[in-house]
Amino acid sequence: MLLAGADHEHCLTLDRDIDRATLRGLVTAQRIQLRAAGLHPAGTVALRLPPSLAYIATLLAAWHIGAQVIILDYRLTAHEVGRAVETLNPQLVVTPDRRPDTRLTGYFDVTPVIRARAGQPAGTGHILVQLSSGSTGPSKFIARTATDLIGELDRYTRIPGYPARDERSVVIASPLHVLGLVGGLLHNLHVGVPTVLPRSLTVEGVLATVAADSTPTTLLGVPSQARLLATRGREIRETSGGTIDLPELARMITGGEALPATLRELFTDTFAADLGVMYGMTETGVLATDLRGADLPEFSPAPGIQIRERDGELLVALANSPYVGPVDPGRWSEGWLHTRDAGRVDTGTGRVTVLGRRDSQVSVRGLKVDLTEIEQTLADIPGVDAAVVLYEGAIEAYVVGDLTHTDLSAILNHRLARYKQPRVLHVLREMPRTATGKPVRDLAVLRSIAGSQ
């Protein structure tokens, strides 16, 4: 399904344009290497490759064999990789021939190195295993079947406004994770949309990649990337005294975290293009969308998805547990996945309102406080680039931006009731983020960074 199509059809762009015939040839060559190393149907292989042509070819080759693929982000520590390999026990591990050494590179030129080990074949019918973001603690092992992925690809084809033929998709979200992998690479291969990976993930590099082709283009990334593009784009516009002429950019679609309304306004004003958002999970892929960003926090459910509300929490119908290992009934039970997100479902229209993490609601001196509200208030302040608000006996806020502690405190005095204001407020030089681009919400990590500054 993913490799089908006319030989000459353009499907990928990295350092060059790649057609389907070339991609099929690369996949065949890699399949021969994997089979020679001992990979068979229902075998297991862990990929610790950076975004690259080698990663794409190896992934598709392993699936063509009928193996289970475990994706390990190349940015994980040796400890994290060791834990995953020990737990999942793959038969092969594929690593790059050299260690990538930059954070602002969209793809790498590496050669895969295959190492066989005394691992175990797949004990389930899952073909993909990924690690959760780890933004709130240790990562979970999340597994999906071929049926799961095909169902998600079908959902994407039925979402109005999602990239289709005669368009192209510039993917700046990591293709190692669910947004860039399924919503980007796999969807694009499925429907015939070229996937473009920029060599440079700097603002200038991304904008140059968009401008390099007159085809209507969708950017796929995370809100923090949208903020960098919009902020730097505004600076470029003001310095030049003109406008940013980028008619190729039809829209940017984000996922992975909430999209502040102020960011949407900044982006659309800077580029005259929509900034939308998708709500989903690694366990499920896309669940709901607002591709124009106009109705947030309300979303339209993705076709074929069943979402309901129970005691203020959003639940998603899922026939089987998506987790490897023992099933936590607090996460999945009786055919329902507990998202741990607070929200509402309109029984008439099915539209979903996402209100943030359920554990963001705390009691302060007997008064109910939603940490998401405080976080959003901070994010809406001009000059604030990122904010995380947590609670452990007191409200603590960690902010990145151009404002001082005194400036922020003064603004919050006017915007939040006294009992909602953070007792602890830190201005960080940089927000720590997970491999998927989400802000780290581990209080110990944030306190350690704040204490070292």
Question: For each of the chain's 453 residues, which pLDDT tens digit applies?
Answer: 788 889 999 999 999 999 999 999 999 999 999 999 999 999 999 999 999 999 999 999 999 999 999 999 888 878 778 888 999 999 999 999 998 877 789 999 999 999 999 999 999 999 999 987 654 455 678 999 999 999 999 999 999 999 999 999 999 999 999 999 999 999 999 999 999 999 999 999 999 999 999 999 999 999 889 988 998 888 887 777 666 778 899 999 999 888 888 889 999 989 999 999 999 999 999 999 999 988 888 999 999 999 999 999 999 999 889 998 777 788 898 999 999 898 999 988 999 999 887 777 787 866 678 888 898 889 889 889 889 999 888 899 999 988 999 999 999 988 887 888 999 999 999 999 876 677 888 899 999 998 887
386: which DSSP letter?
Answer: E
Note if the pTM is more than 0.75. Answer: yes
Give the domain ranges of the chain: 10-131, 155-358, 365-452
State how far the Cα of 175 lies from the Cα of 184, in Å rounded to an integer: 7
CB-based contacts of 333: which residues, under 8 Å, 6+ apart? 327
Domain 365-452 class, CATH top level: alpha beta
> For residue 135, what pLDDT is reported?
47
Q: Give pLDDT, residue 136.
A: 47
What are the tokens at 207? Answer: 């904008």
Can you point out the beta strands (E) in 50-177?
Answer: 68-71, 92-96, 112-116, 126-131, 141-145, 168-171
Residues 6+ apart with CB under 8 A from 113: 94, 95, 96, 97
Separation between Cα atoms, residue 100 and residue 52, nearest integer Å: 11
CA 75 to chain centre: 15
What's the confidence (pLDDT) of residue 362?
Answer: 81
Q: Which two tokens stand for residue 380?
A: 């809406």
Sheet holding 44-47, edge to edge: 112-116, 92-96, 44-47, 68-71, 126-131, 141-145
How far is the C-alpha of 363 from the C-alpha of 369, rounded, in Å? Answer: 6
CATH class of 10-131: alpha beta
Q: Which CATH architecture has domain 155-358?
A: 3-Layer(aba) Sandwich (3.40)
Structure tokens at 415: 């915007």
| Domain 155-358 shares a fold with domain 365-452 | no
d(CA 113, CA 161) in angstroms, rounded, equals: 40
